């Protein structure tokens, strides 16, 4: 995921001249490290160093932070930030867990759970059983097969109609109910 984000950033910066990427890479990395992540709500820089980064544009021109800079207050603020960094990281982990749960709920809404019982008739995905035997004109499903055993939710052992066991276990997403 991170590599894809970095590659997109490099591509955006180098529309025409791809040769300049070594010069642009620090800028892309800086942008990546100083922008808050959706899942944690924090920047990677803050999670690593305990404080927000000062942007290069703020260093070159007078900004509010630079004008109101007080070295003693800054040292005290940095010390406090370092003492609180574990709490910030714990909050980021909690936000990341909530984000993962919401993402999981979102995708689980879209997928239908197929629970089969022993003796149910099912069709097996041809692509899963024999990936070399797929093509535009080939059948997508093969069977029917019977569920011999439910090993755990969504994992099944199959037998063919002649009662011979099919090797391997089969995931419920690779099976489909067979109707006679």
Summarised one tens digit per residue, pLDDT across range 85-98 is: 888 889 889 999 99
Report the distance separating Cα 109 and Cα 107, nearest Å: 5
Contact indicator for 97, 156 with CB cutoff of 8 Å: no
Contact indicator for 134, 122 with CB cutoff of 8 Å: no
Q: What spatial distance separates the first Cα and last Cα of the chain, rounded to whole Å? A: 45
Contact indicator for 19, 10 with CB cutoff of 8 Å: no
Q: What is the pLDDT of residues 8-49, one digit of tens each?
A: 877 877 776 677 778 877 888 888 888 888 888 888 888 888
Report the distance separating Cα 68 and Cα 86, nearest Å: 28
Contact indicator for 146, 120 with CB cutoff of 8 Å: yes
pTM attached to this predicted model: 0.51
Residue 2's pLDDT is 62
Report the distance separating Cα 126 and Cα 170, nearest Å: 12
| Residues 6 or more apart whose Cβ sits within 8 Å of residue 169 | 151, 155, 156, 157
Can you list the domains of the chain with their CATH numbers? 2-110 (no CATH), 121-177 (2.30.30.140)
């Amino acid at each position: 995921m991170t590599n894809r984000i970095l590659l997109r950033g490099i591509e955006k910066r180098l529309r025409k001249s791809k040769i300049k990427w070594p010069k642009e890479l620090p800028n892309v990395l800086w942008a990546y490290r100083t922008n808050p992540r959706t899942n944690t709500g924090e920047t990677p820089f803050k999670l690593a160093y305990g404080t927000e980064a000062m942007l290069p544009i703020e260093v070159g021109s007078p900004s509010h932070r630079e004008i109101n800079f007080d070295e003693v207050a800054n040292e005290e603020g940095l010390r406090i930030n370092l003492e609180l960094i574990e709490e910030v990281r714990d909050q980021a982990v909690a936000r990341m867990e909530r984000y993962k749960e919401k993402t999981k709920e979102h995708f689980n809404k879209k997928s239908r759970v197929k629970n089969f019982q022993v003796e149910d008739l099912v069709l097996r995905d041809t692509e899963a059983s024999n990936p070399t035997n797929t093509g535009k004109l080939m059948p997508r499903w093969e069977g029917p097969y019977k569920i011999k055993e439910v090993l755990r939710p969504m994992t099944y052992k199959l037998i063919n109609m002649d009662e011979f066991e099919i090797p391997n276990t089969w995931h419920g997403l690779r099976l489909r109910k067979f109707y006679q």
